[in-house]
Amino acid sequence: MAAGPSAFQSRLAKELPPLLDNAQLDFKAKDDFLATLTCDKGNVLKLGKILSEKFGFEHLSLITTVDRIERFELVYQITSYQNHCMLEVRVAVPKDDAKVPSVTPVWGGANWHEREAYDMMGIVFEGHPDPRRILLPQDYKYFPLRKDFKMDGE
Amino acid sequence: MKVGTVLMMRSKDFMSWADDWVGRVMKKGPIGRAVDTLLTDFWTWARVNSLYPLHFGIMCCALEMAAASGARFDAQRIGVIYRSTPRQCDMLLVNGPVSKKLRPDLRRLYDQMSEPKWVVAMGECAISGGPFWNTYSVIEGVDQFIPVDVYIPGCPVRPEAMIEGFMKLQDKIRKEKKGPLTEEMV
């Protein structure tokens, strides 16, 4: 059932861009619940603070990484229960400079998700309180979910 | 060695001195051989009927392990009682894929078990990596770093197959026929 954007989503689309002057934002509502937002990687922490403090996005469900061959992509699933809205924030990360500010200060649950993203894809989260591997052994040398990872190269 | 020197010894030195003495008189002498011959059958009987595995479950085969010791299949009737510390165990039952992170800990558990000890690889994952073969985090078979005595195939292993495997191990122990003073093979 494809419904139009909710009142909260319209407010978000209108009020968010002025708060982040130099960010490249692209907001799209899929239906009255789900919306996507692309953001450049420098403004992730600022965007997270604004979303959590001003728009009531209190819950970060997960952080996923995608290997798009020419770049990495981070996907943050953020939910606001009070406004009944789920936001999918997509952040493109260049492969030669895979560093993103950590959102752990905003959502504590991001801690292990970011460690997993580092473990599997090798994306470094700057300002993370505990930047170690989480699933693989600490002395593991590779990032196995990258598309250019080969079992034979081990 | 004088009595006074013995009293001045540290415990470690005393242990090695006692070991040396016992070894000279018992293990290599005729008394030792006589004791060994007399007690081998009893020792083998005791080992066969008290196979205590370590209560260590890795993945879904651990459920079959629980089923085998439950009322229906009752592995306890052939002497398989799970112990929760490696110090009290005779048998290490590896029942699942061993990841690279688990490997040093499993090896430590094996090293902590007292001799004599046997290892049973249960299920495809412990034998060869199973469906996780050729992945970045799973070791392809537990026999790459621990000597394995019995392999029980299955995915997961049925409780009947598990009990069959234990009985195979019992046959092996019967054939080994080691007495209390027989030199360890390790």
**Interface pTM (ipTM) of the complex?**
0.73
Say how many domains are in chain A.
1
Assigned domain for A105 exists: no
Assigned domain for A154 exists: no
CA distance A14 to chain B (A): 46
Residues whose CB falls within 8 Å of the CB of residue B99, separated by 6 or more in sequence, listed in order: B137, B138, B139
Tokens of A102: 């950590």
CA distance B136 to chain A (A): 7
**CB distance B81 to B93 below 8 Å:** no
Check which CATH number belongs to the domain holding A29 and give it. Answer: 3.30.460.80
Question: Tens of pLDDT along B38-66?
Answer: 888 898 999 999 999 999 989 899 999 99
CA distance A142 to chain B (A): 9
Question: How many CA atoms, within 13 angstroms, populate the side-chain half-sphere of residue A63?
Answer: 27
Assigned domain for A104 exists: no
Assigned domain for A80 exists: yes
Q: Which of A110, A147, A118, A152 is nearest to A135 (CA)?
A: A118
Assigned domain for A81 exists: yes
Assigned domain for A146 exists: no
Contact of B135 with chain A, judged by CB distance below 8 Å, is answered with yes
Question: Are the beta carbons of A140 and B134 separated by less than 8 Å?
Answer: no
**CB distance B109 to B78 below 8 Å:** no
State the residue range of the domain holding A49. Answer: 7-97
Q: What's chain B's Rg over C-alpha atoms?
A: 20
Enumerate residue ranges in chain B where pLDDT < 70: 1-7, 182-186
Assigned domain for A106 exists: no
- The two beta strands, A85-94 and A71-80, are antiparallel
- Walk along chain A (154 residues) and give the pLDDT tens digit of each residue: 567 788 888 888 888 888 887 778 888 888 888 999 998 888 899 899 999 998 889 999 999 999 999 999 999 999 999 889 999 999 999 999 889 999 999 999 999 999 999 999 999 999 999 999 999 999 888 888 988 888 765 5
Assigned domain for A75 exists: yes
CA distance A129 to chain B (A): 23
The dihedral sign for the CA sequence B161, B62, B94, B140: positive
Determine the residue among A120, A134, A140, A154 to mutate to test chain B binding: the one whose Cβ has the most chain B Cβ atoms within 10 Å. A140
CA distance B78 to B50: 8
Determine the residue among B102, B136, B138 to mutate to test chain A binding: the one whose Cβ has the most chain A Cβ atoms within 10 Å. B136
Taking contacts as CB-CB distances below 8 angstroms, the residues of chain A near B100 are 136-137, 140
Taking contacts as CB-CB distances below 8 angstroms, the residues of chain B near A137 are 100-101
